[in-house]
Amino acid sequence: MIKFLTQFGRYFLLLKKVFSKPEKPSIYYKQTVRELIFLGVNSIGIIAIISFFMGAVITLQTAYNTENPIYPKYLIGLGCRDSMILEFSSTIAALILAGKVGSSIASEIGTMRVTEQIDALEIMGVNSASFLILPKMIATLLFNPFLTIIAIIVGIFGGWIAGTFSGVLTSENFIYGIQYEFIPYYIVYSLIKTVFFAFIITSVSSFQGYFVEGGSLEVGRASTKAVVYSSVLILLFNVILTQLLLS
């Protein structure tokens, strides 16, 4: 318990260091662009592929579970839309990103720690926490909402392809379904969750990497911990945020 509290304290002290005033904004800007590409643009592929197949599967499953003619067919499109918007595009995508982005952040920063690159920054008088973590934070907070939008669009497209090509419903039915009683606030809800999750992934993974002690073995452990802890926190905050935002 005491160990947990000290970790918690160290985490907030680190955040405080991260959010202090940047010394050379132009260099931070360059780093942020680099991270946008590295952490953001490079994640589009995996998010698109997984969203496409999830959309497809959700559509087919909804279809086969509602074969009874009392259900109108357009419900299938509606089901696909709502699952993609409410859960998949934010929560599941965040879990995938925790695996991809979180482990890469933790191992990058952890390697810099054990090879004394962080010490080298500190000795020059650079605020290493801010220099290394802030650009990643800004990059993910800015870019992950785009990933969410991409996930929604590609997922629904996947549903449409699967639905119409398998013949479980017509294209018109599907399109009617995805427009039926559309609540724009759901998208806002999803984007808010995404921003929270992006913060969790980046801060928790950076924390794990920044305080590694030892060698490559510990870096590996830190990156596993980064994924596990951020995933658990994402699931926890998913419940909390849903209660706050939808009730």
**Near another protein by CB under 8 A: residue from 12, 13, 19, 116:** 116
Binding of residue 117 to another protein (CB under 8 A): yes
For another protein, the closer of residues 112 and 137 by Cβ is 112
For another protein, the closer of residues 41 and 123 by Cβ is 123
Using a 10 angstrom Cβ sphere, with 0-12 exposed, 13-18 middle and 19 or more buried, the burial of residue 188 is: exposed
CA distances from 222 to 9, 33, 162, 205, 237 (A): 18, 26, 40, 8, 22
For another protein, the closer of residues 109 and 162 by Cβ is 109
DSSP 169-205: S-HHHHHHHHHTT--THHHHHHHHHHHHHHHHHHHHH
**Near another protein by CB under 8 A: residue from 10, 19, 119, 182:** 119
**Near another protein by CB under 8 A: residue from 27, 33, 37, 236:** 27
Q: Comparing C-alpha atoms, which of 203, 229, 208, 198 is closest to residue 93?
A: 198
**Near another protein by CB under 8 A: residue from 115, 166, 170, 216:** 115
Under rule CB under 8 A, how many of the chain's residues touch another protein?
16
Q: Where do contacts with another protein occur on this chain (CB under 8 A)? A: 23-24, 27, 111-112, 115-117, 119-120, 122-127
